[in-house]
Amino acid sequence: MGRKRDPKRDEAFDLYKASSGNIRLTEIAYQLSVSEGTVRGWKAKDKWESLIAGS
């Protein structure tokens, strides 16, 4: 069984979406107290760019 999805992952996307993609990943990482690499991985795996473009 896999790990439970981190709720900060959705919070990170919400911050990114609210800024229309104009927020630095380092800022998201700082606000959520996670590493920048973690946020970068979430962005790639969840395809944030295409989700923003599709909105």
Residue carrying the six token digits 């927020």: 23
Residue 12 has pLDDT above 90, yes or no: yes
pLDDT tens digits along 1-10: 788 999 999 9
* Rounded alpha-carbon distances, angstroms, from residue 51 to 3, 8, 20, 47: 24, 17, 11, 6
Domains of the chain by residue range = 7-53
pLDDT at position 16, please? 97
What are 22-43's pLDDT values in tens digits?
999 999 999 999 999 999 999 9
| pLDDT of residue 55 exceeding 70 | no
